[in-house]
A and B are shown apart, each in its own frame.
Chain A
Amino acid sequence: MNLRNKFRWKRVLYEDQSVPDNYVDDSFLKSRKTSAQTYHFQTLFVSSLAILQQLCVVCCFVLVWFHMREGNLTPMVVLTMCISVTLVCCFVFTMYSNEQKYIRFFIITDGLKTALLLLIYTGLASPILQTLTHTISTDTLYTMTSMMLLGHLIFHDYGSSGILVSQSVSLNMAIFAAVCLSSRFETAFHTFATIMMALQLFGLWPMVRRRIAAKNQVVLPVITFVLFMIIVAVLVHYSVVCAVAFGCIGLLINFIFPFILVKLQPQKDNIYGPWDEAVLSE
Chain B
Amino acid sequence: MSVKELHRGIYELDINDRKVLATKNIMPGLSVYGERLIKDDGIEYRQWDPSRSKLGAMVLKNFENPIEPDSTVLYLGAASGTTVSHVSDILTDGLVYAVEFSPRTMRDLIQLCDQRPNIIPILADANKPQSYAHIVEKADVIFQDVAQPNQSEIAAINSKYFLEEHGHLMLSIKSRSIDTVASPKKVFKEEVRKLESDFDIEFEVLQRKELDPFHEDHLGLVARMFVDDEE
Q: Do A and B bind each other?
A: no
Binding site for A on B (CB under 8 A): none
